């Protein structure tokens, strides 16, 4: 019988209590196995775990899933609290196991992720359902090698997709080799004395942000007012917005294509921007001070 190592205690599966078809560990984690492998070695703190998982909210909507996508590689650390900790969930799964867990949403976002508020699509006090498939355990060298190999493949695919998008849209893009950002100006500054954007400039501008399928995730025109921001590197999300603005002057309009690693990266934005998304920005600089 496989044994479970939880916070230094050995808990025998047969001794766990059942509640609503879920078993419960001594720390209060609710779980049920969907598939058991023939492996019995459980992970230990300090190992990397390659896994696939999905998160479903209390209304049965999937808010995140990496199934059929790149797996996550998570460094296993000791659980921080009782009552349902994702690290405790990972610690009871051997390679090849699949399991389902119920974890309190407040606990997950406030204690595990250290967020200050819940996402709008998560109800306070509700449970999140995690379905996790444990693929394999990895060491740091294996993680780094896999990540680097995937980056090369992803960069090559992204470059091909950018060229195809530009051709489809009739864009002639200039490449900034230092950042990977591509730009086409539609209106240049009217004179050499036009104000350029620098660190700490205050900029008033309109912009549209969208995906390659033309889905808009932000549009200041339809929102009815331009953005007014002070340009500092620390304040921008995504960071690529800072790099784009520094290429512009008052009165200019341009289309930018932003690589995913200067956008919202491997995680994306829940329910808005998928992971590894290349972004398109149409920017219109109204005033620079």
Going residue by residue through the chain, which has 289 residues, state the pLDDT in tens, using 9 for 90 and above.
454 444 333 333 433 444 468 999 999 999 999 999 999 999 999 999 999 999 999 999 999 899 998 899 999 999 988 888 999 999 999 999 999 999 999 999 999 999 999 998 999 999 999 999 999 999 999 999 999 999 999 999 999 999 999 999 999 999 998 899 999 999 998 777 889 999 999 999 999 999 999 999 999 999 999 999 999 988 788 989 999 999 999 999 999 999 999 999 988 888 889 989 999 999 999 999 9
Q: Are residues 84 and 176 in the same domain?
A: no
CA distance 259 to 155: 9
Contact 242, 181 (CB under 8 A): no
Q: In the chain, how many domains are there?
A: 2
**What length is written for the chain?**
289
Distances (CA, A) of 164 to 16, 44, 158, 168, 178: 56, 46, 10, 6, 22
Cα 43 to the center of its chain, rounded Å: 25
Q: Which tokens in the block code for residue 233? A: 């590197």
275 and 216 within one domain:
yes
Q: In CATH, what number is assigned to the domain containing residue 67? A: 3.10.50.40
103 shares a domain with 32: yes
Instruction: Tell me the residue range of the domain where 267 lies.
Output: 154-288
pLDDT at 109: 94
160 and 126 co-located in one domain: no
Long-range contacts at 105-110 (CB < 8 A, ≥ 24 apart):
105/57, 105/58, 107/81, 107/83, 108/84
Sign of CA dihedral 144, 150, 151, 152: positive
Are residues 124 and 219 part of one domain? no
Q: ∠280-286-287 over CA atoms, to 5°?
A: 125
121 and 217, same domain (yes or no): no
Structure tokens at 262: 């200067």
**215 and 176, same structural domain?**
yes
In a domain, 24, yes or no: yes
Whether residue 185 sits in one domain with residue 124:
no
Beta bridge partners of 137: 49
Q: Give which of 66, 279, 48, 260 is closest to 153, Cα–Cα.
A: 260
In a domain, 203, yes or no: yes
User: Does this model's pTM top 0.75?
Assistant: no
Same domain, 28 and 122: yes
Angle (CA) 90-20-120 rounded to 5° is 65
The pLDDT score that the predictor gives to residue 18 is 43
Q: Which of 76, 106, 138 marks a domain boundary?
A: 138
Q: Which two tokens stand for residue 271?
A: 């329910």
Q: How many CB atoms lie within 10 A of CB 25?
A: 26
pLDDT in the model for residue 2 = 54
Neighbours of 32 (CB within 10 A): 13
Q: Of 111, 138, 165, which residue is a domain's last?
A: 138
Which residues are CB-neighbours of 70 under 8 A, at least 6 positions away?
150, 266, 275, 276
DSSP 112: I
pLDDT at 13: 40
At which of 138, 162, 190 does a domain end?
A: 138
Residue 148 within any structural domain of the chain: no
Q: Report helix, strand or coil for 259.
A: coil
What separation, in Å, do the N-terminal and C-terminal C-alpha atoms of the chain show? Answer: 70
Give the Cβ contact number of residue 181 at 10 Å.
Answer: 20
Would you say residue 36 lies in a domain?
yes
Q: Is residue 180 part of a domain?
A: yes
Distance CA 282, CA 205 (A): 10
Residue for token digits 């058991």?
Answer: 36
Q: What is the pLDDT of residue 236?
A: 82
Report yes or no on 149 lying in a domain.
Answer: no
């Amino acid at each position: 019988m496989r044994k479970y190592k939880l916070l230094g205690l050995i808990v025998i599966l047969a001794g766990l209590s059942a509640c609503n078809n879920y078993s419960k560990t001594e720390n209060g984690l609710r779980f049920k196995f969907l598939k058991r492998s023939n492996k019995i070695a459980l992970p230990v703190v300090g190992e990397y775990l390659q896994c696939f998982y999905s998160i479903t909210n209390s209304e049965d909507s999937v808010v995140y899933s990496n199934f059929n996508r790149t797996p996550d590689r998570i460094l296993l650390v000791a659980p921080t609290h009782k009552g349902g900790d994702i690290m405790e969930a990972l610690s009871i799964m051997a390679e090849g196991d699949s399991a389902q867990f119920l974890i309190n949403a407040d606990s997950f976002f406030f204690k595990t992720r250290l967020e200050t508020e819940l996402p709008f699509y998560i109800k306070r006090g509700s449970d999140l359902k995690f379905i996790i498939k444990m693929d394999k355990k990895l060491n740091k060298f294996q993680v780094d090698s896999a990540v680097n190999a995937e980056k090369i493949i992803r960069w090559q695919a992204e470059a091909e997709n950018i060229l195809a998008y530009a051709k489809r849209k009739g864009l002639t893009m200039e490449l900034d080799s230092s950042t990977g950002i591509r730009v086409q100006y539609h209106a240049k500054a009217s004179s050499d004395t036009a104000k350029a954007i620098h660190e700490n400039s205050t900029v008033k501008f309109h912009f549209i942000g969208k995906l390659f399928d033309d889905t808009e995730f932000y549009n200041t025109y339809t929102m009815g007012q331009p953005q007014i921001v002070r340009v500092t590197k620390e304040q921008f999300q995504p960071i690529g917005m800072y790099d784009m603005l520094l290429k512009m002057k008052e009165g200019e309009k341009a289309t930018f294509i932003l690589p995913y690693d200067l956008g919202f990266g491997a995680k994306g934005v829940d329910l808005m921007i998928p992971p590894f998304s290349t972004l398109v920005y149409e920017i219109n600089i109204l005033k620079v001070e």
